[in-house]
Structure 1
């Protein structure tokens, strides 16, 4: 947390926006840590000082994934609008005074993205960006990464991470058997890709 506090303090003092990326395999705890960091920044610098921007808002719609034959591996790199994500991050990286950027978010109950759901005012000094592919080497993902000041990779023991994922999928309507099959199939294939990019992170955070 000290590293985060120092980065936020420096950004606020310099009147420069901080974009911190959190990446890691599905179930590693990215969303949880992002919310904690934002709450910490808001406590220190006010309620309008920080916001979470989640890459999941750039999921392609289910109908489109079905139409292009990718619905059965939703969550893979090519099931996101990577170019759209990079373009929005570029706008967030270079705020224009008086203008708010509106980012999408992912609704887990609907299992769909919702556009223009997260306001990011120009005066907001801290944006915590979380997502699976912030360090991916293909497509437009590297363009997105250039907008970030730092990227932290979250590491969690595989068994613990998988159990978290199974529980999450069950909460959102899957049967336990279907949830485990998805976790050991598409989710784990994506985890292998994500963990392979960990060497490019500025820091590796061990989650317990």
Structure 2
């Protein structure tokens, strides 16, 4: 059953620390729409847990720009079918199995590409934090993600706040304000509309206070 989070960051840190202290490998998934702060929260948890955790973002599985152009999907990058979802599932299975160092890709927003083998996940790390838009999406290969996660959190924010954050992000990475606004309204928020209903599948919904 989905619970609502009414505490602050210290409560979330305690919850993540408890997952890391079970004596077995655990995977925490943080989901939410574009611009909801998934990566920021994951890094804050990592800052508190240190060597007991590793962050593995879903964004490392963006299809390459060349492939998106070949498929005719470049103008809606960020949609569910612009990721290698099946590859992400395989990585999560390897991480869950443990026993060896697994290397995950990292997405670099400044060049809009992912670099393979960028994040080492050593076998002795007890908590893996993975974050991304579609962790709770129940369709296609994405439906195989949630069963691989021990706990899932969903960051819930008003649409207009997401728009403001996303426009600022796109401007920081080279778009004009008009280009950023158009992209956010046409692409990012269309994706957000698919993501928001998945919050009912999360163990914990973290709403803006």
**Do the structures match in fold with TM over 0.5?**
yes
SS in 1 for 2:111: coil
TM-score of the superposed pair, with normalisation by structure 1: 0.92
Q: Distance in 2 between matches of 1:206 and 1:52?
A: 22
Query: Which residue is equivalent to 1:45?
Result: none
Gaps of 5+ in 1: 43-47
Query: Which residue is equivalent to 1:111?
Result: 112
Q: Tell me how far 1:142 sits from its aligned partner.
A: 1.7
Query: Which residue is equivalent to 1:54?
Result: 57
Q: Tell me how far 1:7 sits from its aligned partner.
A: 4.7
Asked if 1 retains the 8 angstrom alpha-carbon contact of 2:30 and 2:38, the reply is yes
Asked if 2 retains the 8 angstrom alpha-carbon contact of 1:7 and 1:18, the reply is no
Which of 65, 83, 87 does residue 86 from structure 2 map onto? 83
Q: Tell me how far 1:194 sits from its aligned partner.
A: 0.2
* Total equivalences in the alignment: 200
Q: Distance in 2 between matches of 1:154 and 1:7?
A: 15
Which runs of structure 1 show a deviation greater than 6 angstroms over 4 or more consecutive aligned residues? Answer: none
Asked if 1 retains the 8 angstrom alpha-carbon contact of 2:166 and 2:184, the reply is yes
Query: Which residue is equivalent to 2:38?
Result: 30
TM-score of the superposed pair, with normalisation by structure 2: 0.92
Q: How is 1:1-208 mapped onto 2 (pairs within 5 angstroms)?
A: 1-9=10-18, 11-12=20-21, 14-42=22-50, 48-96=51-99, 99-207=100-208
Q: Distance in 2 between matches of 1:89 and 1:135?
A: 14
Q: Tell me how far 1:41 sits from its aligned partner.
A: 1.4
RMSD of aligned residue pairs (Cα, Å)? 1.3
